[in-house]
Structure 1
Amino acid sequence: MIPPGVPNTMTISADSSLPKARAGSGKLVLALLVGCAVAGFLYFDLGRYLSLDALKANRDQLLAFTEANYSTAVAVYVLAYCAVVGLSLPGGAIMTLAGGFLFGSVLGTLYVNVGATVGATLAFLVARYLLRDWVERQFGSRLGAIQEGFSRNAFSYLLTLRLIPLFPFFLVNMVSGLTRVNVGTYVAATSLGIIPGSFVFAYAGRQLGTINSLKEIVSPNVLIAFTLLGLLALVPILYKRFAGHSS
Structure 2
Amino acid sequence: MTDRPVPLWRRLWPVALIVLALAAAWASGVHRYLSLDTLREQQDALRAFVAENTVLAFAIYIAVYATATILMLPGALWITVAGGFLFGLWGGTPATIVGATLGASILFLGAKTSVGSALRERAGPFVQKLEKGFQEDAVSYMFALRFLPIVPFPVANIAPAIFGARFRDYVITTALGIVPGVIAYTWIGAGLGATFAAGGEPDFASVARNLVPAVIALATVSLLPVAYKKFFPKKVPA
TM-score class, shorter: 0.7 to 0.9
Q: Which of 37, 41, 53 is the equivalent residue of 2:37?
A: 53
The yes-or-no answer on 1:220 pairing with 2:209 is yes
**CA distance 1:224–1:58, shift in 2 (3 Å):** same
Hey, what does 1:237 align to over in structure 2? 226
Aligned-partner residue type, residue 37 of structure 2? D
Give the TM-score, by structure 1 length. Answer: 0.80
SS of residue in 2 equivalent to 1:180 = coil
In structure 2, C-alpha distance between the alignment counterparts of 1:37 and 1:169, rounded to whole Å: 19
The yes-or-no answer on 1:187 pairing with 2:176 is no
Q: CA deviation at 1:230?
A: 1.4
In structure 1, C-alpha distance between the alignment counterparts of 2:130 and 2:174, rounded to whole Å: 16
Matches within 5 A, 1:157-168: 157-168=141-152
In structure 1, C-alpha distance between the alignment counterparts of 2:104 and 2:87, rounded to whole Å: 22
Hey, what does 2:187 align to over in structure 1? 203
Contact 1:88 1:123 in 2 (8 A): no
Query: Where does structure 2 lack aligned partners over 5 or more consecutive residues?
Result: none
| Aligned positions, number | 227
Hey, what does 1:156 align to over in structure 2? 140
Hey, what does 2:64 align to over in structure 1? 80
In structure 1, C-alpha distance between the alignment counterparts of 2:138 and 2:114, rounded to whole Å: 22
Q: CA deviation at 1:24?
A: 5.9
Hey, what does 2:81 align to over in structure 1? 97
Aligned-partner residue type, residue 163 of structure 1? F
SS of residue in 2 equivalent to 1:167 = coil
Taking only aligned residues, the RMSD between alpha carbons, in angstroms, comes to 3.1
Larger radius of gyration: 1
In structure 2, C-alpha distance between the alignment counterparts of 1:153 and 1:206, rounded to whole Å: 37
Aligned-partner residue type, residue 220 of structure 1? R
Among the aligned pairs, what percent are the same residue?
A: 33
In structure 2, C-alpha distance between the alignment counterparts of 1:239 and 1:48, rounded to whole Å: 46
